[in-house]
Each structure stands twice: as structure tokens, then as C-alpha cells.
Amino acid sequence: MSNLVTRLAKMPSDQKRATLANLPTHLANAAQAERLQSLLTNFGFIEAKVSELEPQSLIEDYNLASNPCLLTSQEKTESLKTIQAALRLSADTLVRDKNQLAGQLLGRLISCSKPEIQEMLAQAKPRNNIWLCPIIDSLASPEGFLIRTFTNHSNIVSAIAVTRDGKQMISGSWDSSVKVWNFETGEELFTFTGHVDRVNALAVTPDSQWVISGSRDCTIQVWNLKTGEQLLTISDHPDSIEALAVSPDGKYIISGSWEGTVKVWNLITGEELLALNLHKEPVRSVAITKNHIISSSDDKTIHVLKPEEKQLIILLAHQESVWAIAIT
């Protein structure tokens, strides 16, 4: 692998990109475990692939080494997992500036004692340009709790939700957008721009097909997570939407608003089914079970309602605003 960078530099652009894209898979399919391990710890290959392709394609290469058909030692497998984790943590930075690769890896791995990693870092240090070279751990370690950072909103991220199948994450922001992300790869799949003011609340249907967003523009919008299509807009709240929930059967939306009301909507038609003036101050959170609607508010109360029995229970358990509620 010592002359790999030289060979890559002499290749036409299309051939170079194809080699970078396919070589790891070729080595894995040929059961060339040692050559694959050597490739994935070669800084020249890592740098070339990040430069020519997207960081995620390189990150996925490290999964090839986990194939049980490849006879790779446990120690080397762990080294590859550590490099992969460091690249995953660095992905959002590398998407914006691929020249940060060496600094990102050194800042995360410089204290790692694994010989394969130290050899890779030694290859990374010689630079032809002026750069900041970390000499101590200065970035989040791949052995810590942080896995990945998602960045592309231009203002405060005010709401997040995850589909039940765990495949997608949805974020809502004060920049008025809703973004859908591949939870595993960090890829941004859709950006929904139907709102004209900050997004305050999100909810996902139980079948992971639709996401509902609520905004300070007083609207609730329903989006198809597979196609990105806007399916429905509800605009019958007189004030900012602060909280949302979806019923367990996926048929109803529950919304809480700044003016203190809680409303129930038909998810398919957008019809208002129930309007409840429950709170004296803004509603901060809502939840729903098979038989109950629960809401909390700045008025320090939690309301539990059984609509079919027209029964309301008011809980006075807090001394300040109740910002969040959850149901097991």
C-alpha cells in the first residue's frame, strides 16, 4: 500500500474515483483481510477517498472488516472500529471542509495507543500547507458517548422526533424548516419549507410514514416521509402551536397552543373534532393514550381528560411551568 497514493495520482479522474469506491469491497469479497485492514489504516487512501467522495462512503467501508469470513484479529478489528467512529464524529465537519481531515483525526485519536492508529496518524502529520496540528486530545473521543453531529439548520433547533423504526430523525428549527435525516448515515433526505415562522413541535405517526409539524405561524402541517410531499395544512388555531402528539392508532392529531387550548383533529381530513379551553396560559406539552388526553402548561397544571366520559382531572403538582410530559 506504500505507493497507493502515487498510483492514484496518476489515474484519470473517473478511474481514480472508481478505484476509491470499489477497492475495499473487492478486497473484502476476495477475503484479503490483511490488505483490507492495511488499506483502511492508510492515511493516503483515507484522505483520497474523503477528497473525491463523501465521508459516509468511507465510513461504510469499515463495516466490511466486520465480516466473519475475514480472519482479522480482534485487536485490528477494534482499531478499525475506532477509526470509523472518529470519522463518523468528524463527518459533519468534513462535509463542509475536507481539508480538516488530519486535524480531526489527530484531535480525536492522538492519545490512542493502538499501533495501527499511531502509524496512520504519523502518515497524517506531514502537510504541505499551514495547518493547526493538535498535540493533545482536543476533540470528542470516539470512545465517548457522542456518535454523530447533525448540522445544517441556520437557527435554533427547537424540536426533534425519531420514527418508530429508528431509520429517520426529524428536526424542526427557528429557521422555519423541518429536516428529515437518515439516522444511521447522517444524510439529509428532505427539507420541508412550508412554514413561515419558527417550528415548535413535531410528531411522527406510529407507522413512520408521516410527520406533523407545528409552528408559531399558527399552522399544523402534515408531510409524507417517503416522498417529501406536503399532505395537509391546518390553520384553525388562533395562536402559535406549541405541542403536538399523534394517537396510538395514527388517526388523530392533538395540538396545544399558546392561547391555552388543546384541539383534536382528524389526521386524514384535517377536521377539527374537539376544542378544549383547558389552560389559562400557553400549553407546553401534550400526550395521548388509548383513552386519555394529557396536557401541561405554563399555568403549572397537568390536565388529564377522558373525552368519552367527559371527565377531567387537574393535577397541581408543580410550582412553575410544566414544560414536558411523557407516557410509558
What is the CB-side half-sphere exposure of residue 91 using CA atoms within 13 A? 27
Q: What is the pLDDT of residue 309?
A: 67
pLDDT given for residue 68 in this prediction: 75
Cβ atoms 302, 317 nearer than 8 A: yes
Measure the CA–CA gap between 40 and 77, rounded to whole angstroms.
11
pLDDT digits (tens, 9 = 90+) for 159-218: 999 999 999 999 999 999 999 999 999 999 999 999 999 999 999 999 999 999 999 999
Which residue in 188, 191, 147 sits closest to 59, CA to CA?
A: 147
pTM score of the predicted model:
0.84
* Grid cell for residue 65: 472488516
pLDDT in single tens digits along all 328 residues of the chain: 557 878 888 899 999 999 999 999 999 998 898 999 999 999 999 999 999 998 999 999 999 988 777 767 888 889 999 999 999 999 999 999 999 999 999 999 999 999 999 999 999 987 777 788 888 889 999 988 999 999 999 999 999 999 999 999 999 999 999 999 999 999 999 999 999 999 999 999 999 999 999 999 999 999 999 999 999 999 989 999 999 999 999 999 999 999 999 999 999 999 999 999 989 999 999 999 988 999 999 999 999 998 876 777 788 778 999 999 999 8
Q: What are φ and ψ of residue 44, in 5° steps? A: -60, -40
Q: What is the pLDDT of residue 231?
A: 96
Candidates 246, 197, 192, 203; CA nearest to 218 is 197
CA distance 244 to 221: 11
Fold of 4-124: 1.25.40
Edge to edge, what strands does the sheet with 261-266 contain?
241-246, 252-257, 261-266, 272-277
Domain ranges (residues) in the chain: 4-124, 157-315
Q: How would you write the chain as a 3-class SS string?
A: CCCHHHHHHHCCHHHHHHHHHHHHHHHHHCCCHHHHHHHHCCHHHHHHHHHHCCHHHHHHHHHHHHCCCCCCCHHHHHHHHHHHHHHHHHHHHHHHCHHHHHHHHHHHHCCCCCHHHHHHHHHHCCCCCCCCCCCCCCCCCCCCCCCCCCCCCCCCEEEEEECCCCCEEEEEECCCCEEEEECCCCCEEEEECCCCCCEEEEEECCCCCEEEEEECCCCEEEEECCCCCEEEEECCCCCCEEEEEECCCCCEEEEEECCCEEEEEECCCCCEEEEEECCCCCEEEEEECCCCEEEEECCCCEEEEEHHHCEEEEECCCCCCCCCCCCC
Q: Which fold has domain 157-315?
A: Methylamine Dehydrogenase; Chain H (2.130.10)
Say if strands 261-266 and 252-257 run parallel, antiparallel, or are unpaired. Answer: antiparallel
Phi/psi of residue 210, nearest 5 degrees: -130, 150
Place of cell 475475514: 70
Residue whose C-alpha cell reads 465537519 in the numeric block: 93
